[in-house]
Amino acid sequence: MRFSYLETSHITERDAARAGRELSGYLEHLRLASADASYGSSESCVHLPSDETLRAEVSRLAKEKSSRTLREVMVVGIGGSNLGTRAVYDALKPSGIPLSFFDTAHVRLLKEACSRMRAIYREKGEVFMNVISKSGTTSETMMNARVLIDCLKSLTKDWRGSIVVTTEPQSLLDHWARAQGVPSLPNPANVGGRWSVFSAVGLFPLVLAGVDIKKLHKGAVRASRRCLSDDVEHNAALQSAVAIHHAMKKGAVMHNLFVFDADLEWAGKWCRQLVGESLGKERDVHGRIVHAGVTPLVTIGSTDLHSVFQLLLGGPEDKFTTFVRVRSKGDVSIPRVDEQFDAIVPELNKKSVTEVMDAIYAGTVQSFKDRNLPFVEVEIARLDEESIAEFLQFKMVETMLLARLMHVNAFDQPNVEEYKKITRELLSG
């Protein structure tokens, strides 16, 4: 992953060095957390990529549950219990068993899933279900699981063999799974949803989908090596956090992740949750009311150049942008149709799709430069397991460092818990 910033982010090497000194104690803490197999701190997610025991457990269970008749894996979870998996799945488009996602309360989706299940079982196929909830009590997830399990029960006597639960040990969901003899994979207490993509939460469905989870972890370890380092000059997460924080202080209270590859749209949505839920806080770490936060946006190039780009360029100067592009994705040369057609946009003649996209990207970045708008650029070599994991891990560390600079707790979500509680109270009448 290539990261560039200095010239365009409005910070100087001296700013970065100062922040490096401010954050050096925290970086040391993160390095210790990454080596701590007991998952003892709030930052425990940084240990996940080197947890070989976890990877072995996930792989063993996936092997046991895979069969030639498996047609679909239903991922039942919401927020952090689903978005990381979806980000990786959508970026890599793996060729294993297809995943479907249940992350909202939606009648049509449930009805369609049940008729799909009936059709699959009629044709002697099977469906597998992974119910994922750290708390084990999220209403949407428990509701979707009830509808889908009920359907599964009507189709096979061995419905228990077609479910794996992923939850915090000792949650009510974990108790249910144990009572039923359904395998339960752990979501460690100190790894919250949005930080859990490299835990069993993401690994189990992804390995069934055909993703190489060892390579996934390898990419994340590579990002950690770079992003937990004291070497400011090479620490992309530190540089990026400092640039965003610097821009915030000058009024850029929104952060736009501008991905120039539609396959990264769900990675963008994952980032949106990470930034929104980790940094949007009513109180700071000292308990003072601050209403802090960076409002995350996701835009897709080139589609959104014809949608919100006018606003991004001409509107309020309240945004910081991270451009993300993928270097190599294969190519298609632009064919000729006939003389008249080819004369409509003659600049396309003898060009390829990548050449056109590169020109669009360069033009977009240039217009930001011309207006002196703050941004950083991230270049991903190719969309494979290692690179996507490297990017996600970079974003997680960047968010932790940014929270530290903003003096907010990146790991709680009191207002989300508040809505969950009110929903249950309303349902109980």
Residue 395 in the binding site for ligand PA5 (CB under 6 A): no
Least separation in angstroms between residue 109's CB and ligand PA5 is 18
Residue 145 or 248 with smaller CB distance to ligand PA5: 145
**Which of 44, 224, 321, 413 is in the footprint of ligand PA5 by CB under 6 A?**
413
Residue 18 or 420 with smaller CB distance to ligand PA5: 420
Residue 80 or 183 with smaller CB distance to ligand PA5: 80
Residue 258 or 266 with smaller CB distance to ligand PA5: 266
Least separation in angstroms between residue 322's CB and ligand PA5 is 21
Tokens 């100087």, located at residue: 12
Give the range of 8-16, 29-37, 186-194, 397-405 binding ligand PA5 by CB under 6 A.
186-194
| The two three-digit tokens of residue 153, written as one number | 């029960």
Least separation in angstroms between residue 138's CB and ligand PA5 is 3
Which residues lie closer than 8 Å to 18 by C-beta, 6 or more apart? none
Q: Rounded distance, CA 268 to CA 273, Å?
A: 9
Site size for ligand PA5 (CB under 6 A): 15
* CA 255 distance to own-chain centroid: 16
Give yes or no for a contact between 154 and 234, defined as CB atoms under 8 angstroms apart. Answer: no
Q: In 10 A of CB 115, how many CB atoms?
A: 11
- Which residue among 43, 277, 377, 390 is the active-site one? 277
Chain position whose Cβ is nearest to ligand PA5: 193
Residue 121 or 204 with smaller CB distance to ligand PA5: 204
Give yes or no for a contact between 378 and 3, defined as CB atoms under 8 angstroms apart. Answer: yes
Q: In 10 A of CB 61, how many CB atoms?
A: 17
Least separation in angstroms between residue 178's CB and ligand PA5 is 18
The alpha-carbon radius of gyration of the chain (Å, integer) is: 23
Q: Rounded distance, CA 115 to CA 231, Å?
A: 55
Q: Interaction with ligand PA5 in 191-230: which residues (CB under 6 A)?
A: 192-194
Least separation in angstroms between residue 334's CB and ligand PA5 is 43
Q: Rounded distance, CA 385 to CA 77, Å?
A: 22
- Which residue among 7, 123, 306, 339 is the active-site one? 306
Give yes or no for a contact between 210 and 94, defined as CB atoms under 8 angstroms apart. Answer: yes
Cis amide leading into 302 (omega within 30): yes
Binding mask 124-163 for ligand PA5 (x = CB under 6 A): ---------xxx--x--x----------------------
Residue 1 or 257 with smaller CB distance to ligand PA5: 257
Known catalytic residue at 420: yes
Q: Rounded distance, CA 3 to CA 260, Å?
A: 15
Residue 393 in the binding site for ligand PA5 (CB under 6 A): no
Residue 85 or 235 with smaller CB distance to ligand PA5: 85
Least separation in angstroms between residue 39's CB and ligand PA5 is 16
Least separation in angstroms between residue 56's CB and ligand PA5 is 24
The widest CA-to-CA distance across the chain, in whole angstroms, is 72
Nearest in space to 401 (alpha carbons), one of 261, 267, 265, 232? 232
Known catalytic residue at 306: yes
Q: Interaction with ligand PA5 in 273-332: which residues (CB under 6 A)?
A: 277
- DSSP characters over 73-112: EEEE--GGGTHHHHHHHHHH--SSSPEEEE-S--HHHHHH
- DSSP characters over 341-380: HHTTSGGGTT-BHHHHHHHHHHHHHHHHHHTT--EEEEEE
Give yes or no for a contact between 127 and 162, defined as CB atoms under 8 angstroms apart. Answer: yes
Tokens 């992923």, located at residue: 166
Q: Interaction with ligand PA5 in 65-94: which residues (CB under 6 A)?
A: 78-81
Give the range of 35-43, 59-67, 189-197, 392-400 binding ligand PA5 by CB under 6 A.
189-197
Residue 239 in the binding site for ligand PA5 (CB under 6 A): no
Least separation in angstroms between residue 298's CB and ligand PA5 is 16
List interacting residues with ligand PA5 (CB under 6 A): 78-81, 133-135, 138, 141, 192-194, 277, 413, 416
Catalytically active residues are 277, 306, 420
